[in-house]
Amino acid sequence: MSAQTEQPTQNLSRRDFLNVAWAATGALALAGTGAMTLSFLAPRVVEGKFGGIFTVGAVADFPPGSVTPFNEGRFYLVRLADGGFLALYRKCTHLGCAVPWDPAEGKFICPCHASAFENDGEVINAPAPRPLDRFPVSITDGILSVDTGEVIMRDHPSADEVVYEVS
């Protein structure tokens, strides 16, 4: 009698190998899709890009009564005659067309359907249903910043929305 014990050899059939390969491929694809989904849903704040924070300059760089476009940020920085600031989204509230500032008329005029807005965003000519949306403005040590990551929709302009430099 032999003291040798025979170990059964386990051969992996072609079918089993393909099942394992497909399962591994599916798991990798599922993990990749999950990572892409989480990456897409994660909020990003990128300085100097739309959806992020724009440092636009010193308060003194913007004279009262001025409207300055920031094309990369898709907004206008409005300095009202009383010295307050608003950042207005350049997207029309009617159908979303880009609304240019007309300095000769002293108002925003939508080229798509002729909606017109005051320099504070108030509608003065329909069909736009409400004022231009705005972005939060902050002033720190005399430097203005606009956060384009938060669009603020409004029914009417309000004095509370205007940001002033605190002396």
Q: Write the CATH number for 84.
A: 2.102.10.10
Q: Is residue 116 part of a domain?
A: yes
Q: Is the pLDDT of residue 6 over 80?
A: no
Position 88 in a domain: yes
- DSSP-based three-state secondary structure for 122: coil
Q: What is the pLDDT of residue 9?
A: 63
pLDDT per position as a tens digit, 66-81: 999 999 999 999 999 9
- Measure the CA–CA gap between 94 and 90, rounded to whole angstroms: 12
Lowest mean pLDDT among 5-14, 38-47, 94-103: 38-47
What is the residue range of 125's domain? 53-161
Distance separating alpha carbons of residues 22 and 20, to the nearest angstrom: 6
Provide the 8-state DSSP code for 163. Answer: B
Predicted TM-score (pTM) of this structure: 0.70
What's the structural domain count of the chain?
A: 1
